[in-house]
Amino acid sequence: MKIYDQFFIDGEWVEPSTGDRFESPNPATGQPWASVAEGRAEDIDRAVQSAHNAFENGPWHIMPASQRSEILRRLGDLVLKHSDHLAKLETTDNGKAIRETGGVEIPAIAKWYYYFAGLAETIEGRTIPVNNDLHVHTVREPVGVCGCILPWNSPLLMAAFKLAPALAAGNTVVFKPSENTSVSILEFANLIQEAGIPPGVVNIVPGYGPVAGKALAQHPLVDKIAFTGGTETGKQIAHYAADGVKRVSLELGGKSPNIVFDDYDLEEAVVGVMSGIFVAAGQTCVAGSRLFVHDKIYDEFLDLLVKRTRQIRVDNPMDPTTQMGAQTCQSQLNKIKELVQSGIDEGADLMTGGKPPQDADPSSYFFLPTVFSGVQTNMRIAQEEIFGPVVSVFRFSEEDELVEKANGVKYGLAAGLWTRDVKRALRLSRRLKAGSVWINCYRKINWAVPFGGFKMSGYGRENGQEVLDLFTQTKSVWIDISEDYIDPYAT
């Protein structure tokens, strides 16, 4: 078993306040593979003090932006150099297939650091022509200490969404990774050191949400909270932020519609729909978990979807030929099983899946890709985020009814549309209440493109130039340049 018994604070590995640790199981076996020191409020306080001190007294936000930019570029290079190692850690810890972590996700993370290395030098203010007597300009300053709380599905990617812009703008950071996946971000600390990021600028303390996460979100010296996770936790974080009048951004859950019209190539749409829901074993916030298929192609589409779904290879995530890995944790597996059972009990038709693979180790967290048809919009599987490989299929024919149903959930993170009709595609993209709309593609995410939710999927935009608004604050500077002055007290 790997032991991680220290925290990364003030640029070095330090002893925790207690000897308590928690175990991180390997989802492919259910057996613990890492033991991680559990952070308490005292440890969080130490990390926040270090970040505060680095912000107030350190060189980070006062150094030339070009120098910060160089360091971020070096961090991107290090991600690429160590991507095999990081991908293996991520796969061992969260069960995602290595063809996803190693093939796509981890190498792409370097691009976040490169892109924000470039943007670091573009954080500029404005000159505002108020009148001839005044020169007014604005300056965009970093907000200070940013508390970043992470989920378990893509720990290093979610960290990059926050760390790259936070550092580009000159902030300092304290990370609280998910208790299910703390290892990769702890090892990432070594790259932070090697890249030459000054001590205290990035600090990492794993621990449980209601203990370490809460302490971070409530700490008076934290200026901003960047949170990715479930909607219920997000609401709690928003309360903490309100009490401390902290800036907050929330990337929360989803129940995204994926809509297929009868004019699109059937096979291509089936593949698009499958990867929209089954990638990462369904554990993505943008999962296309509600599928709307046009009446004219419904039966043929469903047959092909079920046939292809049954062929997905669910196996050891470390094997490069595996197409779908495991669920990250026991509680997530239990949640999926419970919601699948609710679908059966409420009368939906289970077309395939609905259980772990027959030959899976009973201690492991595998679950078969699952398709439900005959789903009614008021069923739990139609409304609640499952965060697993389960898709609910609906039939539609009328556009207005489709829009009403597609928007008829509390979430608004993403939506997909498959049609060759450009008018229809653009018309619907306006009517769908979602932060990202993909037309003839799904789950495209890029460092340069804003990403975030409508409705209860959260607020604030990560990625792109927009995220810099979350990590900067504007100061207006007024200078009187006139020779005269007005005395309001003169008689």
One of 185, 382, 385, 409 touching ligand NAD (CB under 6 A): 385
Buried b (16+ CB within 10 A) or exposed e, 466-476: ebbbbbbbeee
403 is a site residue for ligand NAD (CB under 6 A): no
Q: Which amino acid belongs to residue 20? A: D
210 is a site residue for ligand NAD (CB under 6 A): yes
Residues in contact with ligand NAD, counted by CB under 6 A, come to a total of 30
- Among the candidate windows 172-180, 270-278, 307-315, 365-373, which touches ligand NAD by CB under 6 A? 172-180
Q: How far apart are CA 306 and CA 48, in angstroms?
A: 50
151 is a site residue for ligand NAD (CB under 6 A): yes
- Known catalytic residue at 251: yes
Report the site for ligand NAD in 152-171 (rule: CB under 6 A). 152-153, 158
- Among the candidate windows 115-123, 210-218, 419-427, 474-482, which touches ligand NAD by CB under 6 A? 210-218
SS3 for 146?
strand
- Indicate the residue among 213 and 317 with the shorter CB distance to ligand NAD: 213
Give me the least distance between CB of 262 and ligand NAD, in Å please: 31
One of 91, 171, 178, 392 touching ligand NAD (CB under 6 A): 178
Selected catalytic residue, list 100, 146, 148, 285? 285
- Among the candidate windows 5-13, 95-103, 227-235, 477-485, which touches ligand NAD by CB under 6 A? 227-235
Locate 23 and state its tokens: 């175990």
| Closest alpha carbon to 250 in 443, 452, 444 | 452
Stated length of the chain: 491
Give me the least distance between CB of 206 and ligand NAD, in Å please: 9
The CB density around residue 33, as the number of other CB atoms within 10 Å, is: 16
Question: 47 with 37: CB under 8 angstroms?
Answer: no
Give me the least distance between CB of 436 and ligand NAD, in Å please: 10
25 is a site residue for ligand NAD (CB under 6 A): no
**Which residues touch 450 (CB under 8 Å, ≥6 apart)?**
435, 461, 462, 463, 464, 465, 466, 467
Selected catalytic residue, list 251, 329, 385, 462? 251
Locate 454 and state its tokens: 């409508």
Q: How far apart are CA 348 and CA 360, in angstroms?
A: 26
Q: How far apart are CA 39 and CA 215, in angstroms?
A: 10
- Indicate the residue among 118 and 210 with the shorter CB distance to ligand NAD: 210
Q: Residue 104 gets which letter from DSSP?
A: I
One of 214, 247, 255, 461 touching ligand NAD (CB under 6 A): 214
- What angle is formed at CA 276 by the lines to CA 465 and CA 307, rounded to 5 degrees? 170
Question: 239 with 462: CB under 8 angstroms?
Answer: no
Locate 15 and state its tokens: 């002893």
411 is a site residue for ligand NAD (CB under 6 A): no
Give me the least distance between CB of 85 and ligand NAD, in Å please: 23
Report the site for ligand NAD in 246-265 (rule: CB under 6 A). 251-254
One of 179, 187, 223, 315 touching ligand NAD (CB under 6 A): 179
Give me the least distance between CB of 243 and ligand NAD, in Å please: 13
**Which residues touch 393 (CB under 8 Å, ≥6 apart)?**
291, 293, 302, 305, 351, 371, 372, 373, 375
100 is a site residue for ligand NAD (CB under 6 A): no
- Indicate the residue among 119 and 285 with the shorter CB distance to ligand NAD: 285
- Which residue is associated with the tokens 């096979």? 267
SS3 for 463?
coil
Q: Which residues are catalytic?
A: 251, 285
Residue ranges in contact with ligand NAD by CB under 6 A: 149-153, 158, 176, 178-179, 209-210, 213-214, 217, 228-230, 233, 236-237, 251-254, 285, 385, 387, 413, 453, 458
